[in-house]
Amino acid sequence: MKSFSENIKELLRRYFEGSATDSESIKAEEYLIRHPEVMARYEEKNILPLKPFADDIFDGRSSIRSASEYDDEQFLLLAAAAAEGDLADPMMADFLEIIEADQERKAVAQSFELLRLKPGKERWPGGKKMIRSHSFGNNIKAVSMTIGIAAAVCGLLLFGPAINRELIVPSQSLSLAIPSTTEAEANRSDILIQAGMAVRKVSPVKAHESNGFRKVSTPVNLIPQTMPEELPVYEKRLVGSFGAVLPELEAEKYTGLATVTPRNIPPNQQKKLLDNWMITGLTNMAISVAEEKKDKDAVDFAGHRIEEINRLLGWDMQLEKKLDENGELKAVSFQSGLLCFSAPVKNK
Amino acid sequence: MTIKEYNTAVKVFGDPLYRFIYRSIKERERANDIVQDSFEKLWMQVTEVDFLTVKSWLFSTAYNRMIDVIRKDSRLVMVEYYDDSSLMESDTSGDLNEVLHKALERLPAPQRAVILLRDYEGYSYQEISSITGLSEAQVKVYIYRGRVSLRNYLTKTGQSIYR
């Protein structure tokens, strides 16, 4: 059978190793508070696992039950533990008994509550140096945007006719609100698409006979009485295209763009105008993205990327920078066989 | 952790970390170096560290770096142990917080660190234990004995610590 001394040593060893149970920890702390010399010895060692103590460190006293038996050093440790809120019930009872019986000790105990350090106002001088630039991330986004738009346009070129074949609706499903508008007038109309929910007006910077854009002069007020039933499917494809190529976009935020509805679709112009409607959606999307992610470096990066795509795929996309009188970038314009738009750039 | 989160960590935790290290070693330049080293290390591991745990990661990294610096620098080791004989006769000029910080400088480095983590950042024993690598029991002992030492210093220098 182990002696009391051995039991205490074993208890403290387990306590300082962190393997003691809660009840064992309470006993160990009680013992340490009552034996500051033992605590000091553990503290000085500051190395775990602890080496065995010499037998002489234990004085053989049994647990102290009388409050008056706490000497000053023991009491100070007890008060420090109490101020931290660490005393378990039996110790707390002892502590309260002591301070109620001795006003001087009560004042000492209360003084521990004042011993709290407050942080100063020193500022870290090196903070600004450690901030990392987001430019790389922006460039990546710019590339994603450019590639996304290019991929979407490419998708339109490749799959657009197939989609249209699926979605061509009987001409009688659309009737014109203004019958006087002739087909010829519709053909001559400069409107790209009167996008009912488009949030930005598309302003091509340059007329391209080959890309289907013409300068807008007089909108044609053609309002279909009914909409193609398949149109929501078409819209979903459009949203899907955006989502696939521009994954960073928040779907809900751009739903409004995707649900642009073609109001002015002369029956014999459905294919062409639906294509234009898709392109308009893309253009609005591109402008939205460009305005949100405006960044001079990103524009340069996107320009290089477009050159690379042109070289690799034999395309003819152009991203032009518009400079002000000070040589500062103020806008960009994008042109391709199908798509052109301009967007302002705010310098940082 | 993203770049944005890393930058947030620099802005939010940079100053508290600097204060903790500066108050521990009382050398601005070296404290600056230690904090910068810690953020450099964080940047190197930015994808591996979760933003939710970045604060304790930073304190732990900076603490270990500081202990390395203390071990290598004899000047800093000089203030490792509390020495009653060098107490000033009276130190009642400053406010209590200032005097407490002066008293703190006289504590052994581990005691200083655990008290700063406890008071400045409000860390629990368990959190301090994980930052410093000390057991919870040791953390408690250091805090109790540190508080007693602070109080003894204040008493001996004539600072009023009674309400």
Per-residue pLDDT of chain A (348 residues), as tens digits, is: 567 777 888 888 778 777 778 788 878 877 887 777 777 776 665 543 333 344 333 343 444 445 566 778 888 888 888 888 888 777 788 788 888 888 888 888 888 888 888 888 888 888 777 777 654 444 445 555 555 565 555 554 444 433 333 332 233 322 222 223 333 333 333 322 322 222 223 333 333 333 332 333 323 322 333 334 444 444 444 444 444 434 444 444 444 343 334 444 445 555 555 555 555 555 555 555 555 554 555 666 566 656 656 665 566 777 777 788 887 777 777 776 656 667 666 554
Q: How are strands ordered across the β-sheet holding A340-344?
A: A318-323, A329-335, A340-344
A122, part of any domain: no
Residues A96 and A198 grouped into a single domain: no
The answer to whether A18 faces chain B, any CB pair under 8 Å, is yes
Tell me which chain B residue has its CA closest to the CA of residue A136.
B3
* Distance in angstroms (rounded) separating the CA atoms of residues A274 and A233: 13
Residues B94 and B113 grouped into a single domain: yes
List chain B residues with CB under 8 Å of A124: 14-15, 17-18, 32, 35
Residues A105 and A223 grouped into a single domain: no
Residues A64 and A158 grouped into a single domain: no
DSSP 8-state class, residue A213: B
The verdict on a CB contact (< 8 Å) between A130 and B23 is no
Q: How many domains does chain A have?
A: 2
Is the complex ipTM more than 0.85? Answer: no
Closest CA to A246 of A180, A290, A187, A277: A290
Residues B69 and B102 grouped into a single domain: no
Chosen from B3, B13, B119, B144 to mutate, greatest number of chain A CBs within 10 A = B144
Question: Nearest-CA distance from A76 to chain B in Å?
Answer: 6
Task: Please name the residue that has the structure tokens 């070296």.
Answer: B30
Minimum-distance CB partner of A111 among B3, B144, B162: B162
Domain that holds residue B102: 81-163
Domain that holds residue A196: 145-344
Residues B66 and B17 grouped into a single domain: yes
Complete DSSP assignment for A254-272: HHHHHT--B----GGGHHH
Assigned token pair, A177: 């609100």
Among candidate residues B49, B78, B107, the one where a domain is terminated:
B78
The answer to whether A137 faces chain B, any CB pair under 8 Å, is yes
Contact A318, A335 (CB under 8 A): yes
Cβ-Cβ contacts under 8 Å between A and B: the total is 124
Chain A window 97-116: which residues touch B at a Cβ cutoff of 8 Å? 107, 110-112, 114-116
Contact B44, B125 (CB under 8 A): no
